[in-house]
Amino acid sequence: MTRQISAVPESEISIRHLQSHSLPTLVQQQLENLILDGTLVPGNKLAEIALADRLGVSRGPVREAFRGLAAKGLVRVEKNRGVYVRTITPEEADEIYEVRLALENLIVRKLAASPVAFDDSGMDGLLATAARFAEKGDFANCHRCNMEFHDRLAAATGNRTLVDSYRRLVNELSLFRHQAHVKVRDASSLKASVADHRAILAAVRKGEGALASRLIQRHIEASRKRLQKLLGDQEG
């Protein structure tokens, strides 16, 4: 009589979780979140000891996390001087937008090419939620939904490399926004974004790649120009 050895019930995920999450990984994720949500602003210094104490770990894991973040382009390491949240110049932001546009183009064309395989469950709901936030004037949450929309499109391609490349660019642009202290102030641009998203989604669903490509191009360009304009306004 064999006992049910291979039960391993509900905690399997938790085990996998612990297996891959060492202290350096955890610290890195934590810092990444703080940077991407704007708590840690570009230019800020990340002090080893202070961070280690705050997180309750020693400096080793913190230093390892720094290396990972540096390779991801989120921080800049200056030898014997310290680690700083990466700053991005307006020119760099333009360059990032240029690459992002190429990837977004690939994304929508890929999805439009196989609209059946495109699992868009929840996309309508997401857009509806974004629209509600826009109506209520909840800019931050609407912006979050809009970013989520783009991310889901990328993820739907099933191309891991594409998603990774795309996310890196979006992360860098988030960095730039926080650095410029850009706060979305008017609802009109948010509503326009949601409308753009609806049109893009519709084109993708109908398999009209060329149309989707044109729409996303206009959409990203608008975003780029808006950001550069806001930046110019606050400088001038």
Partner DNA sequence: GCGTTACAAATTGTTTACAATCTACAAATT
Partner DNA sequence: AATTTGTAGATTGTAAACAATTTGTAACGC
Among 46-54, 102-110, 193-201, 214-222, the segment contacting its own copies (CB under 8 A) = 102-110
Nearest to 34 by CA among 21, 13, 19, 50: 50
- 139 in Cβ contact with 185 (< 8 Å): yes
Please choose which of its own copies, DNA, none residue 182 contacts, taking the beta carbon within 5 to 8 angstroms, the exact cut-off set by kind.
none
Residue choice 16, 33, 37, 49 for contact with DNA (CB under 7 A): 49
State the Cα–Cα distance between residues 211 and 156, nearest whole angstrom: 19
State the nearest-atom distance from the C-beta of 73 to DNA, in Å: 18
Within 8 A by CB and 6+ apart from 181, the residues are 234
Helix/strand number for the chain, H first, E second: 10, 3
Among 40-48, 71-79, 176-184, 188-196, the segment contacting its own copies (CB under 8 A) = 71-79
- 192 in Cβ contact with 51 (< 8 Å): no
Q: According to the binding rule CB under 8 A, does residue 14 interact with its own copies? A: no
State the Cα–Cα distance between residues 173 and 65, nearest whole angstrom: 21
Q: Please, how many CA atoms are within 13 Å of residue 186, restricted to the half-sphere of its CB?
A: 7
Please choose which of its own copies, DNA, none residue 47 contacts, taking the beta carbon within 5 to 8 angstroms, the exact cut-off set by kind.
DNA
Residue choice 44, 105, 189, 228 for contact with its own copies (CB under 8 A): 105
Residue choice 61, 170, 177, 180 for contact with DNA (CB under 7 A): 61
State the Cα–Cα distance between residues 131 and 190, nearest whole angstrom: 8
Q: Which residues bind its own copies (CB under 8 A)?
A: 19-22, 24-25, 28, 60, 63-73, 78-80, 92, 95-96, 98-99, 102-103, 105-106, 110, 159-162, 164-165, 168-169, 172
Q: Which residues bind DNA (CB under 7 A)?
A: 5, 19, 22-24, 45-50, 56-61, 63, 77, 79-83
